[in-house]
A and B are shown apart, each in its own frame.
Chain A
Amino acid sequence: MVDWVQLTVPAAIVTKLASPTYAVQYLTLAESQKLSFPGAADFVPIDTRAWKVASDGKELGRYIVDRVIGKHLYIDYAVTLDAGGRVQRVDILQYREAYGGEVRDRGWLNQFVGKSRTSPLQVGTDIRNISGATLSCHHLTEGIKRIVNRYGKDTR
């Protein structure tokens, strides 16, 4: 039989642990492009956020970066389309969530300061992971649909 204990948490303690801002840079644009189309490929710009990708004159597909913005977060992401305009993969480049628009907990933010994508992470002490009610990525799904509609239809 499991025993339960009631925890009385003063409001001040909870506030002290507050995390108004949380940000992670996963991939740079160049790294993401390389992951999406391994090997030598030419990225020919279509517009400011989309590229036609070719190798030896043969079109391999398209690579598009986009950002979805909500009240509490924004996500920079990249969509790779194959030559037929179908989604091959979606990579998150940067993820950032901010509540209230101000940084109340410098300690929380400071763990990301000066952290480039290539700098090593310290096991267990470095990046705090968060468990909580699942964040839906409905708006990301909508963003991907918009990209497929705009860039996926005229690939030929």
Chain B
Amino acid sequence: MAKTLASVRRARPFLGTLVEITAWRGKACRLEQAVECAFGALERIHRLMSYHEPGSDVSRLNRAGKVPVVVHEWTYSVLQTSSELQHQSKGLFNIAVAPTLERLGLLPRSVERSRQPADLGQEGAVELFAGNRARLRAQGSRIDLGGIAKGFAVDQAIGVLREHGVLSGLVNAGGDLAGFGPHEHLIAIRDPRDPARLLARTALRDAALASSGLHFGFFGRSQHCSIIDPRAKQPVTAISGASVRAASCTIADALTKVVMLVGTAASDVLDGYGASALFVTTTGEVLATADWQGVHSLAA
């Protein structure tokens, strides 16, 4: 039986979505203050990694091109993880798809328009140097951390809650979420084909779960997919939604893009990160890794 504990549940908009934090009291812990500080970290990440804010590290990197710029250690860390993911996924995870997103109207057009840069394949989009310095590898390339920053933000917020002595917590950034503490957090996964439906339920304990898929229009506008296949420079078409469970939300968030692109062929990458996955094809097939927890509840 779960015990009833004092808790705080708050939501604020960051990173283009609603971020919700729920925290349950620990010993000598000021819940409200802990949640405020966690939102503080989210706000900082929003400012550093937004594609839209001219002063963000991402915008500064995109403007500077091949001239190295000093970025915040958090941005540096996300760039490092992105490079590793790009390598591990043989180029499928790619933070340099911004020009394609712009062309499709999924990101606003840059002021300084340029040619589509050459395909970088498995090579990282960004070169990293000592002292938190980074630069784009190809002139005219542009990066967007939209495929990983939300996961990183969730992990950082979780870290802040832990530091404040919160007993148990859950951070949900528009569907990319992570929970910690002695209790399991029950999570429902939305059916990517129909937002009114739930596809499965699962329980998280000191783990993260992220989902990607069609974007649901608020005003009945047509749905679109903002996951770009870096090989074809086109949106994904075969898979309508994917969820990945991993130890960190940064990894879970990024790996949803890889599963969206190649489905079952993502096995090796998932295995390498100790992650499990579930996805739905546009023809309605539901596939999950054999270790996907919660499958029984779906089939029951």
Residues in chain A within 8 A of chain B (CB atoms) = 1-9, 13-15, 17-20, 24, 26-27, 35, 70-73, 75, 77, 89-92, 95, 99-100, 120-141
Q: B32 to chain A: which residues have CB within 8 Å?
A: 35
Nearest CB in chain B: distance from A126 CB, A: 8
CB distance A134 to B176 under 8 Å?
A: yes
Contact status B220-A135, CB under 8 Å: no
Stretch of B14-22, B66-74, B91-99, B127-135 at the chain-chain interface: B14-22
Tell whether A99 pairs with B286 under 8 Å between CB atoms, given A2-B271, A121-B9, A123-B2: no
How many angstroms from the CA of A129 to the CA of B12 in the assembled complex? Answer: 16
| Interface size range of chain B in the complex | 35 or more
Which stretch in B76-84, B117-125, B137-145, B208-216 binds the other chain? B208-216
- Quick one: which of B22, B197, B219 contacts A71, CB cutoff 8 A? B219
Whether B267 lies near A1 (C-beta < 8 A) is yes
Which among B150, B181, B195 is the interface contact of A123 at CB below 8 angstroms?
B181
- Beyond A3-B290, A91-B10, A123-B2, whether A73 also contacts B241 by CB under 8 A is no
**B196 in the interface, Cβ–Cβ < 8 Å?**
yes
A120 touching B7 by the CB < 8 A rule? yes
A26 with B11: CB separation less than 8 A: yes
Q: Is residue B270 within 8 Å, beta carbon to beta carbon, of the partner chain?
A: yes
Q: Which of B186-210 contact A (CB under 8 A)?
A: 186-192, 195-201, 203, 209-210
In the assembled complex, the CB of B84 is this many whole angstroms from the nearest CB of chain A, namely 19
Given contact pairs A19-B188, A99-B196, A4 touches B4 in the complex (Cβ within 8 A): no
Given A5-B288, A134-B211, 20 more contacts at CB 8 Å?
A: A1-B268, A4-B264, A4-B290, A9-B286, A18-B198, A26-B11, A71-B219, A99-B196, A120-B7, A124-B2, A129-B188, A131-B176, A132-B191, A132-B192, A135-B18, A135-B216, A136-B16, A136-B17, A136-B215, A137-B16
A-B pairs with beta carbons under 8 Å apart, 25 shown: A4-B288, A4-B290, A9-B286, A14-B191, A17-B188, A19-B196, A24-B20, A71-B220, A72-B218, A92-B10, A92-B11, A92-B18, A120-B6, A121-B5, A122-B3, A124-B186, A129-B170, A129-B185, A130-B189, A132-B190, A133-B192, A133-B195, A133-B212, A134-B212, A135-B18
Task: Name the distance in Å between A25's Cβ and chain B's nearest Cβ.
Answer: 9
Once A6-B285, A70-B219 are accepted as A-B contacts, the answer to whether A18 and B10 lie under 8 Å apart by CB is no
Closest Cβ–Cβ distance, residue B157 to chain A (whole Å): 14
With an 8 A cutoff between CB atoms, is B47 at the interface? no
Interface residue from B210, B289, B299 paired with A3 (Cβ < 8 Å): B289
1/0 per position for B146-190, CB-CB distance to A under 8 A?
A: 000010000000000000000010101011110001011111111
Q: How far is the CB of A11 from chain B (nearest CB, A)?
A: 9
Are B188 and A131 interface neighbours, CB within 8 A? Answer: yes
Smallest beta-carbon distance B13→chain A, Å: 5
B287 beta carbon closer than 8 Å to chain A: yes
Asked if A4 and B219 make an inter-chain contact with CB atoms under 8 angstroms apart, the answer reads: no
Report if B28 contacts A (CB, 8 A).
no
Cβ contact of B12, chosen from A14, A91, A141, cutoff 8 A: A91
Q: Is the CB of A124 within 8 A of B285?
A: no
Say yes or no: A122-B2 contact (C-beta < 8 A), given A129-B170, A131-B210: yes
Asked whether any CB of chain A lies closer than 8 Å to the CB of B62, the reply is no
Chain B nearest Cβ from A104, distance in angstroms: 9
- How far is it, in angstroms, between the C-alpha of A7 and the C-alpha of B170 when the chains are bound? 28
Q: B24 an interface residue at 8 Å Cβ cutoff?
A: yes
Please determine whether A120 and B4 come into contact, CB atoms closer than 8 angstroms.
yes
Candidates A100, A121, A124; contact of B196 at CB < 8 Å: A100
B190 x A26 contact (CB < 8 A): no
Once bound together, how far apart are the Cα atoms of A100 and B210, in whole Å? Answer: 26
A7 touches B295 (CB 8 A): yes
* A109-B292 Cα distance, complex, nearest whole Å: 27
Question: Which A-chain residue is minimally distant from B243 (CB atoms)?
Answer: A131
Contact of B111 with A by CB under 8 A = no
**Which residues of A are found within 8 Å of B10, using beta-carbon distances?**
26-27, 91-92
Q: Quick check: A1 and B271 within 8 Å, CB to CB?
A: yes
